[in-house]
């Protein structure tokens, strides 16, 4: 998949928060083959270089770092955090989160579009964390985003794809825009489903980090993503009501 | 009598010094502070000796080796309260309790009545809870003072200025040893102490919450220590957000905490290696004893014993870490 002129080999992206230890985090990346690591700048930062030791460990994973603005509740906070992330990680990429609702962590669509516009004009390449709303998607694209990251379900819930119709519509409306299902996945089967629907990649964190064996779950997701992508590329059959035996019936004795 | 030097008089240094004295060594401890205090990371600890609960996320050695800690502290004359741990969760996150129960052992399930019998002030607040019976807690500040005073009585010299080391040196400086141990990182933790005479807890209570986990540890005279934040940072500033989360979680545990007096807000960065397990690293005549993470009081006794075994018995104990740099 190609995003902002960059070829991304792995269709699995992993967050780096909430793991039992950085060693477990590294093992999860190793077994998953995930090519992109999202890093929360705001919560860990505390200003200056206080989180530097952890960020060094993330850099040592040898994957592309996609810093995010997790936990930002206003445009201003998100923009400031993005600017800080650009300096820290020397990248124009930013996963933009502007949270609009404290309980569901639902994106603030208005703030998101505004922040995306400000950051794009400032030279950022924005990966917006958004809902499956088609109108919002249109506005984000107009603001300069070249990729969309619709949620599957609210962050950290593990509920999977809660609005399949909405996601399907979004995918169908913008067939050429790279899309990453971000947030809400709890099980590999849900990742497979997203990939079968034609999404280009998935991003998850809690499902792996909070599993009893994060590395095993990471590998499970990697295989699931691969399975779903293969199925999508293979052009699946259409479901039908009429049974159609895969073995010809003609020539067999009808005994029953 | 062999001479030995310990650098750092936090929980790691004091436990190592205690182990060395027990083996009959002549010990000098370098530490700038006249008594245990705020510049020791362990000063801010919760003092929970909770190996089974820690097993939710910690590696197996923490659970196994942590089980000797309550006995060790008690054998040093430190008062240890053995009433176990209570684990609860807000109603809508009740599945958190199932997950916690699956991933830990040593607990029994309590219904509302059984919980009320164990902790009357939590009556009616939670319809079920876990009781981890074999866990304990202590007052970390009292424990540090006790060890230090006893070591001085036993003839250990505490020197404020770091001078020339005699014999083997045990470097127990925690995060300050990052100059020698670049793999060390700081993991920030915030804590608060409340005076809450309206609510009486007799054992540590852990509130499981997907966003704001909390533990509340009873201290003397109606005080309660609140903790749980864990942030990948060595920032030592006391952040409003973290304190807000701690206090909100406490309020969710029991609204009576809303009436408590805020006595103290503390913060420090715990020294940790990438696997969050402690290490013993030998370089020439120096043995580094470090990386206790959030398990200072839980693992320092076992680690101190291993440090002495590495130094004097010629064995390579469990946490011995080959030095690659």
DSSP for A72-95 reads --SHHHHHHHHHHHHHHHT-SEEE
Q: What is the overall mean pLDDT for chain B?
A: 92
**Residue B297 resides in a domain:** yes
pLDDT score of A243 more than 80: yes
Q: Please state the φ and ψ torsions of residue B86, each to the nearest 5 degrees.
A: -105, 135
Let me know whether B127 and B199 are in one domain: yes
Let me know whether B112 and B192 are in one domain: yes
**Residue B155 resides in a domain:** yes
In three-state secondary structure terms, B54 is helix
Tell me whether residue A252 is one of the annotated catalytic residues: no
pLDDT digits (tens, 9 = 90+) for B254-270: 999 999 999 999 988 99
| Owner of token pair 């309206």 | B198
CB A150 within 8 A of CB A167: yes
A210: closest chain B residue by CA: B57
> pLDDT value at position B55?
93
> pLDDT value at position B164?
79
Let me know whether B172 and B204 are in one domain: no
Closest-CA distance of chain A to residue B186, Å:
8
**Alpha-carbon distance B116 to B249, whole Å?**
20
Task: Spell out the domains of chain A, with CATH numbers in brackets.
Answer: 2-234 (3.20.20.70)
CATH value at residue B89: 3.30.9.10
**Which helix (DSSP H) or strand (DSSP E) does residue A134 occupy?**
helix A134-142
> pLDDT value at position A149?
97
pLDDT score of A43 more than 60: no
Mean pLDDT over B215-240 rounds to: 87
**Alpha-carbon distance A77 to A115, whole Å?**
10
Mean pLDDT over A239-246 rounds to: 81
Q: Which of A24, A53, A156 sits opposite B234 (nearest CB)?
A: A53
> pLDDT value at position A256?
54
Let me know whether B151 and B239 are in one domain: no
Task: Write down the catalytic residue from A42, A86, A95, A117.
Answer: A95
Give yes or no for B239 touching A (CB within 8 A).
Answer: yes
pLDDT score of A45 more than 70: no
Bridge-based pairing of strands B107-111 and B128-132 is antiparallel
**Residue B296 resides in a domain:** yes
Closest-CA distance of chain B to residue A45, Å:
7
Tell whether A191 is in a known binding site.
Answer: no
Between chains, do A53 and B103 touch, taking CB under 8 Å as contact? no
Kindly give the interhelix angle for B11-22 and B140-153, rounded to the nearest 10 degrees: 40
**Alpha-carbon distance B181 to B287, whole Å?**
12
B277: closest chain A residue by CA: A21
* Domain final residue pick, B272, B292, B311: B272
* Residue (of A141, A17, A130) closest to A67 by Cα position: A17
Mean pLDDT over A163-185 rounds to: 95
B210 pLDDT band, cuts 50/70/90, is: confident
CATH value at residue B305: 3.40.50.720
**Which helix (DSSP H) or strand (DSSP E) does residue B264 occupy?**
strand B261-272
Residue-by-residue DSSP string for A1-53: -EETTEE---SEEEE-SS-S-HHHHHHHHHHHT--EEEEE-HHHH-STTTTHH
| Owner of token pair 């709303």 | A133
Q: What is the overall mean pLDDT for chain A?
A: 90
**Alpha-carbon distance A175 to B78, whole Å?**
68
**Residue B258 resides in a domain:** yes
**Alpha-carbon distance B239 to B275, whole Å?**
26
B184: closest chain A residue by CA: A53
A249 pLDDT band, cuts 50/70/90, is: low
Let me know whether B45 and B190 are in one domain: no
Let me know whether B193 and B310 are in one domain: no
Let me know whether B176 and B189 are in one domain: no
Question: Running DSSP on this structure, what letter comes out for residue B165?
Answer: P
**Residue B213 resides in a domain:** yes
Give the residue with greater pLDDT, B73 vs B92. Answer: B73
**Residue B61 resides in a domain:** no
Q: Both tokens of residue B236? A: 């030592």
**Residue B78 resides in a domain:** no
**Alpha-carbon distance B90 to A103, whole Å?**
15
* Residues of chain A found within 8 Å of residue B185, distances taken between Cβ atoms: 22, 53-54, 57
CB B301 within 8 A of CB B51: no
A8 pLDDT band, cuts 50/70/90, is: confident
Between chains, do A44 and B233 touch, taking CB under 8 Å as contact? yes
pLDDT score of A46 more than 60: no
Let me know whether B157 and B195 are in one domain: no
Tell whether A104 is in a known binding site.
Answer: no
For residue B239, the tally of other CB atoms under 10 A from its CB is 18
Four-residue CA torsion sign, B53, B139, B74, B286: positive
> pLDDT value at position A56?
82
Mean pLDDT over A114-129 rounds to: 96
Between chains, do A23 and B274 touch, taking CB under 8 Å as contact? yes
Between chains, do B235 and A46 touch, taking CB under 8 Å as contact? yes
Q: Please state the φ and ψ torsions of residue B192, each to the nearest 5 degrees.
A: -140, 145
> pLDDT value at position B130?
95
B292 pLDDT band, cuts 50/70/90, is: very high
B95 pLDDT band, cuts 50/70/90, is: confident
Bridge-based pairing of strands B168-171 and B214-219 is unpaired
**Alpha-carbon distance B8 to A250, whole Å?**
87
> pLDDT value at position A106?
93
Between chains, do B103 and A212 touch, taking CB under 8 Å as contact? yes
* Residues of chain B found within 8 Å of residue A21, distances taken between Cβ atoms: 59, 272, 274-277
A242 pLDDT band, cuts 50/70/90, is: confident
> pLDDT value at position A254?
61
> How many domains does chain B contain in total?
2
**Alpha-carbon distance B73 to B135, whole Å?**
13
**Residue B72 resides in a domain:** no
Give yes or no for B188 touching A (CB within 8 A).
Answer: yes
pLDDT score of A49 more than 70: no
Which own/partner pairs from B289-294 qualify as long-range (CB within 8 Å, at least 24 positions apart)? B289/B12, B289/B13, B289/B16, B289/B170, B289/B171, B289/B172, B290/B12, B290/B171, B290/B172, B290/B173, B290/B174, B290/B177, B290/B181, B290/B184, B291/B184, B292/B11, B292/B12, B292/B174, B293/B187, B294/B54, B294/B187, B294/B189, B294/B230, B294/B270
Closest-CA distance of chain A to residue B105, Å:
14
Let me know whether B246 and B204 are in one domain: yes
A103 pLDDT band, cuts 50/70/90, is: confident
pLDDT score of A239 more than 90: no
Q: Which of A22, A26, A156 sits opposite B210 (nearest CB)?
A: A156
Let me know whether B14 and B142 are in one domain: yes
| Owner of token pair 């477990």 | A24
Angle, CA B82 vertex, CA B77 and CA B83 arms, to 5°: 155
CB B40 within 8 A of CB B33: yes
Looking at chain B, the whole-number percentage of residues with pLDDT higher than 70 is 99
CB B54 within 8 A of CB B42: no
Let me know whether B207 and B239 are in one domain: yes
* Residues of chain A found within 8 Å of residue B104, distances taken between Cβ atoms: none
Its domain, for residue B200, covers 85-133+185-272
Let me know whether B196 and B119 are in one domain: yes
């Amino acid at each position: 998949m190609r995003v902002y002129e960059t070829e991304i080999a792995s269709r699995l992206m992993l967050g780096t928060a909430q793991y039992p230890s950085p060693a477990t985090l590294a093992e999860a990346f190793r077994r998953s083959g995930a090519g992109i690591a999202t890093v929360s700048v705001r919560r860990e930062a505390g200003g200056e270089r206080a989180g530097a030791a952890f960020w060094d460990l993330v850099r040592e994973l040898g994957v592309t770092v996609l810093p995010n603005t997790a936990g930002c509740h206003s445009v201003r906070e998100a923009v400031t955090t993005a600017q800080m992330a650009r300096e820290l990680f020397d990248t124009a990429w930013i996963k933009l989160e502007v949270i609009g609702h404290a309980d569901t962590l639902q994106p603030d669509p208005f703030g998101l579009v505004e922040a995306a516009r400000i950051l794009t004009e400032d030279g950022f390449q924005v990966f917006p964390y958004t809902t499956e709303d088609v109108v919002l998607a249109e506005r984000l694209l107009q603001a300069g985003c070249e990729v969309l990251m619709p949620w599957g379900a609210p962050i950290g819930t593990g509920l999977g794809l809660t609005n399949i119709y909405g996601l399907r519509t979004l995918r169908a409306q913008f067939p050429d825009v790279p899309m990453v299902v971000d947030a809400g996945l709890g099980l590999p089967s849900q990742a497979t489903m997203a990939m079968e629907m034609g999404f280009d990649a998935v991003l998850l964190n809690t499902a792996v980090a909070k599993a009893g064996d994060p590395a095993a779950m990471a590998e499970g997701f990697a295989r699931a993503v691969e399975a779903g992508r293969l199925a999508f590329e293979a052009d699946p059959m259409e479901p039908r009501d009429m049974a159609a035996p895969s073995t010809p019936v003609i020539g067999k004795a009808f005994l029953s | 009598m062999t001479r030995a030097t310990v650098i750092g008089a936090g929980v790691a240094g004091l436990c190592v010094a205690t182990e060395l004295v027990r083996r009959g060594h002549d010990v000098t401890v370098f530490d700038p502070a006249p008594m245990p205090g705020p510049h020791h990371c362990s000063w801010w600890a919760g003092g929970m000796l909770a190996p089974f609960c820690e097993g939710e996320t910690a590696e197996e050695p923490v659970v196994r080796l942590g089980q000797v800690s309550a006995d060790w502290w008690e054998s040093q004359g430190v008062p240890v309260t053995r009433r176990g741990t209570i684990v609860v969760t807000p109603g809508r996150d009740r599945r958190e309790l199932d997950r916690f129960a699956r991933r830990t052992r040593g607990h029994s399930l309590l219904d509302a009545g059984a919980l009320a019998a164990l902790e009357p002030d939590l009556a009616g607040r939670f319809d079920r809870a876990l009781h981890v019976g074999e866990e304990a807690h202590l007052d970390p500040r009292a424990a540090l003072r006790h060890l230090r005073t006893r070591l001085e009585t036993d003839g250990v010299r505490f020197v404020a200025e770091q001078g020339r080391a005699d014999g083997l040196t045990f470097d127990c400086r925690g995060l300050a040893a990052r100059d020698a141990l670049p793999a060390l990182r700081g993991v920030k933790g915030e804590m608060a102490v409340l005076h809450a005479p309206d609510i009486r807890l007799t054992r540590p209570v852990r509130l499981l919450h997907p966003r704001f986990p909390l533990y509340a540890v009873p201290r003397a005279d109606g005080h309660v220590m609140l903790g749980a934040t864990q942030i990948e940072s060595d920032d030592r500033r006391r952040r409003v957000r973290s304190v807000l989360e701690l206090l909100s979680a406490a309020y969710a545990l029991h609204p009576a905490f809303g009436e408590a007096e805020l006595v103290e807000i503390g913060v420090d960065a715990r020294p940790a290696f990438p696997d969050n397990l402690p290490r013993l690293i030998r370089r020439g005549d120096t043995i580094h004893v470090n990386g206790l993470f959030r398990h200072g009081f839980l693992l320092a006794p076992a680690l101190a014993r291993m440090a002495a075994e590495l130094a004097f018995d010629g064995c390579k104990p469990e946490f011995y870490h080959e030095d690659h740099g």
